[in-house]
């Protein structure tokens, strides 16, 4: 295997997807090739980013498929049809069941916008994570890349990077700093690290 065929699962803006595409172009990612983008939301700007980069993309909607099982089966079919080796959850706002995660043991990475085990697990996603960090009054937060297992945000940690909270931060300003100073750096680095291990 020359490069690990990688699928990126998204739901929204897709800035982490963009960081991965940019890292591929700049050579930071050389052991993985992003060949598929799957969104669970048809309106996600991440789909436009994939299209602009010439990467195959599709929407798989849980609403339309009705059950978790049918939703996951449709994702599995897309992954198998495209010969995917590595799956990256980059702002994917849907929890995957054990039936799905156990099938891809140590093959699914997730980026979470806090230093796990703080502010993580069910209900902690997107801006809610930063709202909780500000409410608690922590002075340092950050981001974590981890393997995905059946426990939300509970899989083995691959990388973490700390970011300072500043006086006057809002959830939005903190989110932006955590993305710029941590997420967009450690996600591409982690994808390269794990893809390199897979192709060996
Ligand atoms: C990112 O901050 C990501 O860490 C977070 O959602 C945002 C998605 O932004 N993910 C989670 O909270 C997952 N629990 P993006 O669509 O611009 O990459």
Backbone angles phi, psi at 102, to 5 degrees: -70, -25
Q: Cβ(187) to ligand 1 under 6 A?
A: no
Distance CA 101, CA 151 (A): 10
Among left, alpha and beta (phi > 0; psi -120 to 50; other), residue 135 is: alpha
Per-residue pLDDT, averaged over 116-137, amounts to 97
Residue 1 has pLDDT above 90, yes or no: no
In this structure, what token pair is assigned to residue 5?
A: 């065929």
User: Taking a C-beta distance cutoff of 8 angstroms, is the pair 171, 127 a contact?
Assistant: yes
Which is the closest atom of ligand 1 to the Cα of 44?
16
Residue 110 has pLDDT above 80, yes or no: yes
pLDDT (0 to 100) of residue 48: 98
pLDDT above 70: percentage of residues in the chain: 100
Q: Cβ(119) to ligand 1 under 6 A?
A: no
Global pTM value:
0.98
Query: What does 92-109 look like in DSSP terms, one character per residue?
Result: --SPPPHHHHGGGTT-EE
Q: DSSP label at 110?
A: E
Four-residue CA torsion sign, 72, 40, 87, 128? negative
Q: Cβ(13) to ligand 1 under 6 A?
A: yes
Q: What is the pLDDT of residues 17-58, one digit of tens each?
A: 999 999 999 999 999 999 999 999 999 999 999 999 999 999
Centre of ligand 1 to C-alpha 192, Å, is 19
112 among known catalytic residues: yes
Per-residue pLDDT, averaged over 180-198, amounts to 98
Q: Cβ(111) to ligand 1 under 6 A?
A: yes
Residue from 1, 13, 7, 5 nearest 127 by CA: 13
């Amino acid at each position: 295997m020359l490069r690990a065929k990688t699928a990126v699962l998204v739901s929204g803006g897709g800035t982490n997807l963009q960081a991965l595409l940019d890292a591929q172009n700049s050579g930071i990612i050389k052991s993985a090739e992003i060949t598929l983008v799957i969104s669970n939301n048809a309106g996600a700007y991440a789909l436009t980013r994939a299209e602009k980069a010439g990467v195959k993309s599709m929407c798989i909607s849980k609403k339309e498929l009705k059950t978790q099982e049918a939703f996951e089966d449709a994702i599995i079919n897309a992954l198998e049809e495209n010969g995917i080796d590595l799956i990256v959850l980059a702002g994917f706002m849907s929890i995957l069941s054990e039936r799905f995660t156990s099938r891809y043991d140590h093959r699914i990475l997730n980026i979470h916008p806090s230093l796990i085990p703080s502010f993580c697990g069910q209900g902690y996603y997107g801006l809610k994570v930063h709202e909780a960090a500000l409410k608690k009054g922590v002075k340092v937060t950050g981001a974590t890349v981890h393997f995905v297992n059946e426990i939300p945000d509970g899989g083995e940690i691959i990388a973490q990077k700390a970011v300072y909270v500043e006086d006057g931060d809002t959830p939005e300003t903190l989110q932006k700093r955590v993305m710029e100073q941590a997420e967009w750096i450690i996600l591409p680095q982690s994808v390269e690290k794990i893809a390199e291990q897979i192709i060996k």
